[in-house]
């Protein structure tokens, strides 16, 4: 495993903390019924977005899913704009028209998120084709869950990207479930990386709660993409702490067990990285606590910003729906 610079590791940790603090606050907001739009929270999966996006340039493109908050924040998205969008306010990154699942912010090259399962995968491939034709050296990243690999468009996009050697990274966040259905009831081979090896693209499977593994694998993939060596897929095994949608754990439904949730909570990526950095003297405990306190303050400021922002003007609700 290649050595990662300390400043990069601290950056990854900071991004994970930002995502965790933000999502915990959104969970509370949803529980208090302060918002009406459904929220698909990223708690437990923070290492993937943070470790992937820290590798990207500002003008590299990211395409996301219904579980998009972590990807947006990791790409450098504005926390206040994201919170305002969740509150459906005019100052949101989608001007309050999209809510939690329809995020876009071209200023940070976060091109879209979509609740359509697998919907952003072909668009990322198309974006990579455009980048290659223009010769600008940009890389496109498509985040998606293991449920998206049940869709035919996933395999079509993989094949297209492989044939034309497109600069795109396919990031599968395999948390074991498509909504409430476990992977072994959907696929005869639950390893996504193994399943697509026949397409002759570069693949890797890593611990999705280990920032070191993710960073090193993606760093190599991005270098290959920029050198015109084609697409890559990384499968990151992980687990979402909360339900498919909402702020609860769904333990009463019976599709997953309490012991499994507790097992994965004990594999918290933030605890893993912070404890490692503290043990190596790269980070002090007091500085870690200060990082969390500062981030918590930023989250509260984003809530106040959202609450004090206006709703969209009903007379302008169709603005932005069509290209003018």
What residues does each domain of the chain span? 6-309
Question: pLDDT for 255-270, tens place per residue?
Answer: 778 888 888 899 999 9
Backbone φ/ψ region at 198: left (φ over 0), alpha (ψ -120 to 50), beta: alpha
Q: How far apart are CA 139 and CA 137, in angstroms?
A: 7
Beta bridge partners of 142: 63, 170
CA angle, corner 320, sides to 319 and 321, nearest 5?
95
Query: What mean pLDDT, rounded, does the chain reach?
Result: 93
What is the predicted pLDDT for the residue at 1? 60
| Residue whose pair of structure tokens reads 């912070």 in the numeric block | 274
Nearest residue to 39 via CA among 79, 19, 66:
66
What mean pLDDT is predicted for residues 154-165?
97
What is the predicted pLDDT for the residue at 86? 97
Nearest residue to 25 via CA among 66, 80, 102, 64:
80
pTM of the full structure: 0.94
What mean pLDDT is predicted for residues 76-85?
97
What is the predicted pLDDT for the residue at 76? 97
Strands of the chain (E only): list them: 61-64, 110-113, 140-145, 168-174, 177-178, 181-182, 202-207, 232-237
- Measuring CA to CA, how many Å separate 73 from each of 20, 25, 51, 192, 307? 10, 14, 12, 26, 20
Q: Model confidence at 318, in pLDDT bands (50, 70, 90)?
A: confident
Q: How far apart are CA 315 and CA 86, in angstroms?
A: 21
Question: pLDDT for 173-185, tens place per residue?
Answer: 998 777 777 776 6
Confidence check: pLDDT of 131 > 70: yes
CB under 8 Å to 30, separation ≥6 — which residues? 39, 246, 247
Instruction: Name which of 13-27, 221-235, 247-261 the model is least confident about.
Output: 247-261
Nearest residue to 118 via CA among 170, 72, 194, 168:
170
What is the predicted pLDDT for the residue at 258? 85
Instruction: Name which of 54-58, 203-207, 246-250 the model is least confident about.
Output: 246-250
Intra-chain end-to-end CA distance of the chain, in Å: 50
What mean pLDDT is predicted for residues 214-218?
98
Contact between residue 86 and residue 35 where contact means Cβ atoms under 8 Å apart: yes
Instruction: Name which of 29-43, 89-103, 171-185 the model is least confident about.
Output: 171-185
What mean pLDDT is predicted for residues 283-290?
96
Q: Model confidence at 66, in pLDDT bands (50, 70, 90)?
A: very high
Question: pLDDT for 95-108, tens place per residue?
Answer: 999 999 999 999 99
What is the predicted pLDDT for the residue at 185? 67
Contact between residue 120 and residue 64 where contact means Cβ atoms under 8 Å apart: yes
Which of 3.50.50.60, 3.40.50.1820, 3.40.50.300, 3.40.50.970 would CATH assign to domain 6-309? 3.40.50.970
Q: Is 229 exposed, middle or buried (0-12, 13-18, 19+ CB in 10 A)?
A: middle
Using only C-alpha atoms, what is the Rg of the chain? 19
Question: pLDDT for 235-244, tens place per residue?
Answer: 999 998 888 8
67's tokens: 């579980």
What mean pLDDT is predicted for residues 205-234?
97
What is the predicted pLDDT for the residue at 176? 79
Question: pLDDT for 106-128, tens place per residue?
Answer: 999 999 999 999 999 999 999 99
What is the predicted pLDDT for the residue at 129? 97
């Amino acid at each position: 495993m290649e050595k990662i610079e300390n400043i990069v590791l601290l950056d990854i940790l900071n991004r994970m903390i930002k995502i965790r603090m933000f999502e915990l606050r959104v969970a509370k907001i949803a529980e208090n019924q302060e918002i009406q739009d459904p929220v698909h929270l990223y708690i437990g999966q923070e290492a993937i977005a943070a470790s992937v996006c820290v590798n990207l340039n500002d003008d590299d493109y990211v395409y996301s899913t219904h579980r998009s908050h972590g990807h947006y924040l990791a790409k450098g998205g504005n926390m206040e704009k994201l919170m305002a969008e969740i509150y459906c306010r005019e100052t949101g990154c989608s001007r309050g028209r999209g809510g939690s699942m329809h995020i876009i912010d071209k200023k940070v090259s976060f091109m879209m998120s979509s609740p359509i399962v697998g919907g952003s995968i072909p668009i990322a491939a198309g974006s990579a084709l455009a980048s290659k034709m223009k010769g600008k050296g940009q890389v496109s990243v498509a985040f998606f869950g293991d449920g998206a690999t049940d869709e035919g468009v996933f395999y079509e996009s993989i094949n297209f990207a492989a044939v034309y050697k497109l600069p795109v990274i396919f990031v599968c966040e395999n948390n074991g479930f498509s909504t409430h259905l476990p992977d072994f009831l959907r696929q005869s081979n639950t390893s996504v990386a193994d399943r697509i090896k026949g397409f002759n693209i570069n693949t890797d499977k890593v611990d999705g709660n280990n920032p070191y593994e993710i960073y090193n694998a993606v760093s190599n993939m991005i270098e290959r993409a920029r050198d015109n060596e084609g697409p890559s897929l990384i499968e990151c095994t992980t687990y979402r702490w909360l339900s498919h949608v909402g702020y609860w754990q769904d333990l009463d439904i019976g599709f997953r067990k309490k012991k499994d949730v507790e097992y994965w909570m004990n594999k918290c990526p933030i605890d893993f990285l912070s404890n490692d950095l503290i043990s190596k003297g790269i980070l002090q405990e007091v500085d870690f606590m200060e990082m969390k306190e500062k981030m918590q303050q930023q989250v509260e400021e984003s809530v106040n910003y959202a609450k004090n922002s206006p709703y969209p003007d009903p007379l302008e609700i169709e603005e932005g729906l069509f290209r003018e």
